[in-house]
Amino acid sequence: MNRIVCTGIALSTLVACVDQGASQDVGSVELASVTYETSWNGEDVRFGANGGWTLVNDLGTTVTIDSGYLVNYQASLVPCVDGETPVADIGGANVGSTTKAAHGDVPDPSASPIPLVEKLLAPGTTELAELTMDADRYCGVHYLIARGNLDTVPLPADVLMIGRTLYLTGTYRRTNDAAPVPFVLDTALAHARLDDLVDIDVVGTGEHAQVAIERDLGRMFDGVEFAGEGEQQRALIVLGNITAHTRITLERY
């Protein structure tokens, strides 16, 4: 069973939540370059002819999105640490893991350097970074969605994504005969996924890697009731769904 560990929830503070799978035996690879790419699985989503998309969540609520943006703050490889079962220290929250996340002021040569805004009206594939570094041994992959900063690109013209992580507008209907109800989801909360290599698909050989980070669009609103939840509670559920239903693969060549 996966577990979610959060370091805090506040609009004024960068918040990191980690979806951590069960620990297994350590697996590692030696790499000297990496490319990160994000994409979406849209199998359970109906796309509109003029953009936007509709899904039905696990509670039977129909959700239609007509605009939105997400900040992919960073992807990185996680260096192995001495010992067989160390504990990762993610922003002060101890998480059982075989890896150590590069988090804080220590420069990480494997980390994508610039947060990228992803347009969610027509979700597609985004290359986050292509990096070359000194060869090192890595035991995991870390993916962080968090609020944009002054380095964030490309900034959309209609919504300021500096200080925002996720912005969505749309409608929901609890039953087919109900009138659509408009909603806005606007948050600066953050969420992350930390996977040991033994928990993801690793294929090929060589010291170069293509890391594919696929999120599941159709599961984004699972568990969202649109009743009784505060906006930030709803946002945390959505962000948690994005990371919980992320599939990471690493192809070496």
Above 60 in pLDDT, residue 85?
no
What does the pLDDT read at residue 82?
65
pLDDT tens, position by position, 184-234: 999 999 999 999 999 999 999 999 999 999 999 999 999 999 988 889 999
pLDDT in tens, 88-143: 433 322 232 333 444 445 678 999 999 999 999 989 999 999 999 999 999 999 99
Each domain of the chain, given as residue ranges in start order, spans 3-252
Nearest to 81 by CA among 103, 98, 60, 56: 98
Can you tell me the distance from the alpha carbon of 182 to that of 70, in angstroms, rounded to the nearest whole number? 19
pLDDT at residue 68 in the model: 96
User: 139 — alpha (psi -120 to 50), left (phi > 0) or beta?
Assistant: alpha
Residue 66: per-residue pLDDT = 95
- What's residue 84's pLDDT? 37
**Total residue count of the chain as it appears in this document:** 253
Given this model, what pLDDT does residue 151 score? Answer: 97
Report the share of the chain in percent with pLDDT over 90. 72
Question: What's the confidence (pLDDT) of residue 97?
Answer: 32
pLDDT at 224: 97
pLDDT, residue 175, reads 86
Average pLDDT, the chain: 84
Q: Is the pLDDT of residue 16 over 80?
A: no
**Residue of 173 and 51 predicted with greater confidence:** 173
